């Protein structure tokens, strides 16, 4: 992003002016964020692209192309099929057969869906360049999920989100983790959390259930890199 162009951008929520904070810069702003003083919203700049939106699916579309990508909890494939348009090899993993059937209907040829448990995946020692796990911490023991993800990434990026909604009765995980704890564990595992997600967030997630029904709630987003 050219820093001179920030003066022409305004907040999508309150229409207030956006202030630019640069975290990494070369000929352009490589990483930073645009900040609205009026309503306090922050919009990250990742790989020179300002992400002025509140929908996570669109957020992920901006991730640069990677050779090997895996999405845990892919469901009906909205995100994995989108990733398949840009990335070389994409794998979607879920435990719902009906959801995977729906995902496969519109999947590109380079997008493969597998019914598998996240913690007992069929990839052996295979390493990925991008791992996505959205809203899974309340379904899978968070520490075990982080261990699995950490063992699979090499020179790549992970993208996590969760509303930390652990009140699921008998189906609740035994050892819930929250915003700061997850970031501490990732740091211990030699991940470098991107500056735009170091601070816990409260981003609007919109789930399109059907043509007449949307489910809207707030999630925390974490993206982090690991070089080995």
Predicted confidence (pLDDT) per residue in 167-210, tens digit: 877 778 999 999 999 999 999 999 999 988 999 988 776 655 55
Look at the block and give the residue holding tokens 């699995």. 148
For each of the domains in the chain, give its residue range(s) and CATH number, in order of start.
1-52 (no CATH), 54-226 (3.40.50.150)
CA 45 – CA 30 distance, rounded (Å)? 7
Positions in the chain short of pLDDT 50: none
In sequence order, the β-bridge partners of residue 90 are 69, 111
CA 160 – CA 135 distance, rounded (Å)? 7
CA 125 – CA 119 distance, rounded (Å)? 13
CB-CB contact of 133 with 160 (8 Å): yes
């Amino acid at each position: 992003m050219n820093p001179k162009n920030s003066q022409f951008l305004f907040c999508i929520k309150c229409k207030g002016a956006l202030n630019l904070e640069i975290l990494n810069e070369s000929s352009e702003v490589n990483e930073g964020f645009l900040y609205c003083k009026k309503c306090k919203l922050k919009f990250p700049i990742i790989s020179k692209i300002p992400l002025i939106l509140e929908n996570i699916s669109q957020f992920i579309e901006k991730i640069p192309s990677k050779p090997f990508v895996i999405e845990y909890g892919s469901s009906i494939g909205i995100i994995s099929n989108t990733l398949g348009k840009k990335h070389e090899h994409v794998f979607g993993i879920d435990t719902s057969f009906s959801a995977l059937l729906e995902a496969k209907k519109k999947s590109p040829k380079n997008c493969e869906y597998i019914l598998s448990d996240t913690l007992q995946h069929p990839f052996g020692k295979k390493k990925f360049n991008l791992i996505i796990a959205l809203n899974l911490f309340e379904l899978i023991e968070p520490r075990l999920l982080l261990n699995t993800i950490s063992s699979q990434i090499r020179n790549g990026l992970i993208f996590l989100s969760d509303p930390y909604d652990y009140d699921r009765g008998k189906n609740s995980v035994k050892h819930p983790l929250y915003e700061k704890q997850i970031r501490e564990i990732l740091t211990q595992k030699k991940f470098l959390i991107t500056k735009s997600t170091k601070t816990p967030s409260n981003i609007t997630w919109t789930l399109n259930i059907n043509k007449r029904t949307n489910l809207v709630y707030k999630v925390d987003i974490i993206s982090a890199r690991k070089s080995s």
